[in-house]
Structure 1
């Protein structure tokens, strides 16, 4: 009789609890990683999901701060009715994107859902449902900023020390200019705008504005702009950098390319995107060279013609004065003098240097040396450097103008 009484009492308590709404209620974090290995800083899509068997009048969600993660809510909470194993439930879902800050085991959460439920009797009853912290195993970001056959050798020491790495599935860079930077007006300032976009990244994870510091360039900057776009697939971050440049001299210069390394979450390797190099200078520099007789076709041919006429007249006078004695040692000296004064080798040498034709420059330099018999060690060393550029693969970076100046001076 005692056992029967206890059983009846237990059933009564269970029925009373069911009437009061103390039924099945769960809340949990559901991660959706795209890879079995999660990298530090990589986005992990996560759903905070609740399953409730009662109607809810009021609710408030509290997510505890986490020192191991950054996170963002991607959209509004979703409430809907679902049938699970033949039973009707009210479900709650909050879409999140979480980003582990460190390697190792990292915890996100916990969360508490404060509810006011409606019991079967129509009464309102407060209740709190808790979600246990989500624990993820995170691998550290690879130490090498650039995963390539050359490793980090393609970066300068400054870039190796300050390389800013982040994880993204896709990175794009666009640039625009307020004017043509290679043909600026005297005293004009050009503004360069670079827009960097990255998918699966928060704005503060994108790198700071690269430093551009050249002695021949005056540089101004504006504050960096950072923007965030929320999508169901994750956040899209945008950073905008602006520089205003003004050359100190009219001579053209080149601002080097800027590499932006990042971990590609699709290929699971280090990757890079590059802001291309840019040329900058005043258009008046070229016109000043024309006024100085360096590049103007009219002035160039006028100078050549005057030189030829003058040298021709001098040679004719020499020929008439010493015609009877053009034999023996004097004849050889006469031949050397004509080769030395002949303008052809020099003109071909200068034309090849201006045209950037290294093979033509090599032939013209050899002809000039032969005419002048001026094969000094310094000039031969210059020829060796030209040969290395032609046959060693360095033709793109060879400075033909500097070669010509040093070659003619014998330095």
Structure 2
């Protein structure tokens, strides 16, 4: 009995060096990713002996989405002067919320061929963590290396015929993200328009440069009244991982002209012939006379006055911006600044984008930097 135990101990002792030199680890980048940004993770295993079977599963989590970027890479490599069998698996992880993100542990189950036997070995990589910054805008985070928006129409809406339907197709193409992380379908509703939507299409494709995400929306548009109308622009905000700043893509406005020009919105017939020309001439003359009278009195036309007043109106987001500038939370300041810039654009004024870019660099640059919130407030508001 003693001899048998001694033989088992000697066998385990001889096999121990091969097992003890196996290692598995998670390699995370030294970056400051925001919520929704692709985090490249490398799983690297260094093994000894002949491996006949293996099984490793990357863990799912409510804290992140993930996708494997390609097939496993097995190769022989000399590590610290010793020959090893090396595995590298590349994973893309997308955090769903800010905070400290923990990935792992990951266990690799190996079957090794020993002399006249097969041994099952489990090698575990300890968990790895990385801090995740908040997304610098409200709504669903859209983070990519690049974002392209195409807006296509099947016909000219400015010359649409009576009862004609026009197909509108918008496609978003983003590098470095997954399809389900792209924005939701925007609303397209107008009181003068019937809109039929087709099922959206989403797809993630793997390329040698990483994942590329697509989403496509289609609307079948048909006007139902006799008034002129314009579809407003659509804005898609996204975080550029190359420039480390929030950017926006905007579709152009789409004016519609209608074939039902013999009816107004209520269906009442419009004046025609000589009577219509007479009414049009009288209306034009009255308008010109009113404008001339206003100019003669040193006043501007009403439309110009209204536009001028709209531009002089105070920015409603300014109080919240000033409050945020007095606090240490730069992410709250970024959200308030985006609201301020959006209100400036709506009023026909342009906010200094350079100031916003400087704040983005302080928040999402490769290394933390000091930031003067008071100077930023003065630069952004011009006060």
- What is the TM-score normalised by the length of structure 2? 0.68
Distance in 2 between the 1:390 and 1:206 partners? 36
- Name the Cα RMSD after superposition: 3.7
Equivalent residue number for residue 32 of structure 1 = 29
Distance 1:218 1:97 in 2: 41
* CA distance 1:184–1:30, change in 2 (3 Å): same
How much has 1:125 moved relative to structure 2? 1.6
Deviation at 1:213, TM superposition (A): 1.4
8 Å CA contact 2:291–2:301 kept in 1: the answer is no
Residues in 2 aligned to 1:381 and 1:188: alpha-carbon distance in whole angstroms: 48
Aligned to 2:244: 268
Deviations 1:200-228 (A, max 9, x none): 11111111110111111111111111011
Q: Which residue of 2 aligns with 1:248?
A: 224
Residue 3 of structure 1 aligns with which residue? none
1:62 corresponds to:
57
1:200 is aligned to 176
Contact 1:71 1:99 in 2 (8 A): yes
Alignment match of 1:220 (pick from 193, 196, 205): 196
The CA deviation at 1:390 is: 8.4
**What's the CA shift for 1:279?**
1.3
User: For 1:271 and 1:27, how far apart are their aligned partners in 2?
Assistant: 39
Partner of 1:100: 95
Q: How does 1:6-25 map to 2 (within 5 A)?
A: 16-17=14-15, 21-25=18-22
Unaligned runs of 5+ in 2: 1-5, 312-345, 347-383
Distance change >3 Å, CA 13–CA 179, structure 1 → 2: same
Q: What are the Cα deviations for residues 126-167 of structure 1, in whole angstroms up to 9, with x where unaligned?
A: 11111112211111212x45xxxxxxxxxxxxxxxxx43322
Q: Over residues 183-205 of structure 1, what are the superposed CA-to-partner deviations in whole Å (9 max), with x where a residue is unaligned?
A: 11110111100001111111111
* Map 1:170-319 → 2, pairs under 5 A: 170-283=146-259, 285=261, 292-293=272-273
Bigger proportion of residues as helix = 1
Q: What is the Cα deviation at residue 74 of structure 1?
A: 0.8
Equivalent pair of 1:45/1:234 in contact (CA under 8 Å): no
Q: Distance in 1 between matches of 2:22 and 2:101?
A: 26
Change (3 A) 1:65 1:391: closer
Q: For residues 285 and 83 of structure 2, what CA distance do their matches in structure 1 show?
A: 88
Partner secondary structure for residue 350 of structure 1 = helix
| Compared CA separation, residues 215 and 40, structure 1 to 2 (3 A) | same
**Alpha-carbon distance in 2 for matches of 1:15, 1:49:** 27
How far 1:45 moved relative to its partner? 0.8
Would the aligned equivalents of 1:182 and 1:283 in 2 still touch at CA under 8 Å? no
TM-score for the superposition, normalised by structure 1 = 0.64
Tell me if the contact between 1:167 and 1:263 (Cα under 8 Å) persists in the aligned partners: yes
CA distance in 2, matches of 1:181, 1:366: 32
In the other structure, the counterpart of 1:160 is none
8 Å CA contact retained: 2:160, 2:258: yes
For residues 251-283 of structure 1, the C-alpha deviation after alignment (integer angstroms, 9 at most, x for no partner) is: 321010111112222222221111221112325
Q: Distance in 2 between matches of 1:366 and 1:274?
A: 35
Distance verdict in 2 for CA 1:286–1:81, change over 3 Å: farther
Pair 15,366 (structure 1): closer, same or farther in 2 beyond 3 Å: closer
Counterpart contact for 1:196–1:239, Cα < 8 Å: yes
SS at match of 1:182: helix
Structure 1: state its 5+ residue gaps: 1-7, 146-162, 305-345, 354-360, 370-374, 398-411
In the alignment, what sits opposite 1:43?
Answer: 38
Contact kept in structure 2, 1:168 and 1:265, CA below 8 Å = yes
The aligned residue for residue 130 of structure 1 is: 124
* Aligned twin of 1:4: none
Contact 2:237 2:248 in 1 (8 A): yes
Q: What is the aligned residue count? A: 300
State the alpha-carbon separation in 2 of the partners of residues 165 and 242 from structure 1: 23
